[in-house]
Structure 1
């Protein structure tokens, strides 16, 4: 009856992981009516992609409005040192007093700046964004359920291969495998429901925030289509291949001290 022990292990893992997923999902389902909320582009960017998306949106906005020049080499040059909002002023401070810097440190410094943290806190306070721990809990719980589903299959295979048991279609060992279908259906069903209700699992937006993202198109100002696309989908949505290359791994200059190469604009 060793197969019964394997079945209990499979069932226990399935039940515990599914219960964990249910608790994690319940903790983030702050079903509030956001009212007549119109998301700004920064808010849309944060809910869609987190702090790094906000930083990228600010950089693209400043480049399109000619307050910043971003070269295909991955360097940014300040044109107008007066930022229009705190995020833009953070970008300018991150570039430094020389007025030029490569993009990676700018993106990191802006994404971790007080202005972006304040934006995140406001969205969390209104129930539109998830605190970092809850995002982690959801993703971790989904991984646990997936692991339990794999464990069920492994336990079923081990039960079938136990020594001294007949194998083949219609044998008692094969009939016992039917019991393993119960925890397998439980885990697969939980994953299917989670995908419909709380996917994407690593989303920055709460369920309420995600519904607002899906139903509301933010106002954009200059270049609204481009900026909205960047806020929602990231820099991969940029149509200019040179600008896209600057963000997505465009080569840095071999001699970063050469201002003629650093300052070459798109």
Structure 2
């Protein structure tokens, strides 16, 4: 009766994943009802809500490079031109580069993304009801878990049907038993797709609304701010300068 063990494992995987998705959806609904502080977002806040700590680090690097206070070479190296950071994010980047004033971009980006300045930024956004807390499972990650559970249930069902050995239960009935947790997982995915989109790892529903409003208003901003808003929202894909794109592309290949 090996198939029974496979069935119990399939049910366990499906039940845990679907429960996490339901709990994440409940937390997201509670966050949507939570009152948020109505205010304008800074570029760093936009970057965090759109892409998390790594996006904040990328925005800081791009902003400093455009102001000629940081040189990002196409070889993947960052060189400090102006050692005076204008805010704590820039100071984190300069500190990550080190006293020699030069470092590869990948470790700088990693260090800046995990700096205390970014954690304080995240805490402020969470308190304002605009960002999701790190603790707990988000809807986006829960959906990924249910998708993985669906594949696992399918694999376990196939293994149960293909495993040789004596059994008093017809193969068709075994397949029907495994169809139950599979239907559970697929139903949760369908409901999540209908009720819980769009998914976000960082922004709460209130934060997503502010991001959407800012994106619509970006065309009215001055050129430099419009450019940086685009980088904050879309990441390095929005970088237009060939040298900067080469620098970040080199980081992606080596990082």
TM norm structure 1: 0.75
| Corresponding position of 2:70 | 68
Are 2:130 and 1:132 aligned? Answer: no
- d(CA) in 1 for partners of 2:222 and 2:91? 18
**Any gaps of 5 or more consecutive residues in structure 2?**
none
- The question of whether the paired residues in 1 share the 8 Å contact of 2:65 and 2:72 is answered with yes
Matches within 5 A, 1:1-266: 10-29=10-29, 30-31=31-32, 32-34=34-36, 36-135=38-137, 139=141, 141-158=142-159, 160-161=161-162, 173-174=171-172, 177-195=175-193, 197=196, 200=199, 203-217=201-215, 223-249=224-250
- d(CA) in 2 for partners of 1:6 and 1:250? 44
Deviation at 1:221, TM superposition (A): 5.8
| Corresponding position of 1:255 | none
- The question of whether the paired residues in 2 share the 8 Å contact of 1:46 and 1:120 is answered with yes
Deviation at 1:19, TM superposition (A): 1.5
For residues 46-90 of structure 1, give each alpha carbon's deviation from its aligned partner in whole angstroms, at most 9, with x where no partner exists. 111111211110111111122222222222333333333221233
Where 1:109 maps in the other structure, the secondary structure is: helix
- d(CA) in 1 for partners of 2:3 and 2:191? 30
- The question of whether the paired residues in 1 share the 8 Å contact of 2:149 and 2:185 is answered with yes
Going from structure 1 to structure 2, the CA distance change for 1:117 and 1:11 (only over 3 Å counts) comes to: closer
Q: CA RMSD in A?
A: 3.4
More displaced, 207-216 or 8-17? 8-17
Deviation at 1:243, TM superposition (A): 0.6
Where 1:76 maps in the other structure, the secondary structure is: strand
Deviation at 1:193, TM superposition (A): 3.1
More displaced, 62-71 or 227-236? 62-71
Where 2:250 maps in the other structure, the secondary structure is: coil
- The question of whether the paired residues in 2 share the 8 Å contact of 1:146 and 1:191 is answered with yes
- d(CA) in 2 for partners of 1:160 and 1:48? 45
- d(CA) in 1 for partners of 2:2 and 2:105? 59
- The question of whether the paired residues in 1 share the 8 Å contact of 2:143 and 2:189 is answered with yes
Deviation at 1:107, TM superposition (A): 1.7
**Any gaps of 5 or more consecutive residues in structure 1?**
253-266
More displaced, 182-191 or 127-136? 127-136
Deviation at 1:123, TM superposition (A): 0.8
Kindly tell me the number of residue pairs found equivalent between the two proteins: 246
Where 1:69 maps in the other structure, the secondary structure is: strand
- The question of whether the paired residues in 2 share the 8 Å contact of 1:159 and 1:173 is answered with no
Going from structure 1 to structure 2, the CA distance change for 1:156 and 1:97 (only over 3 Å counts) comes to: closer
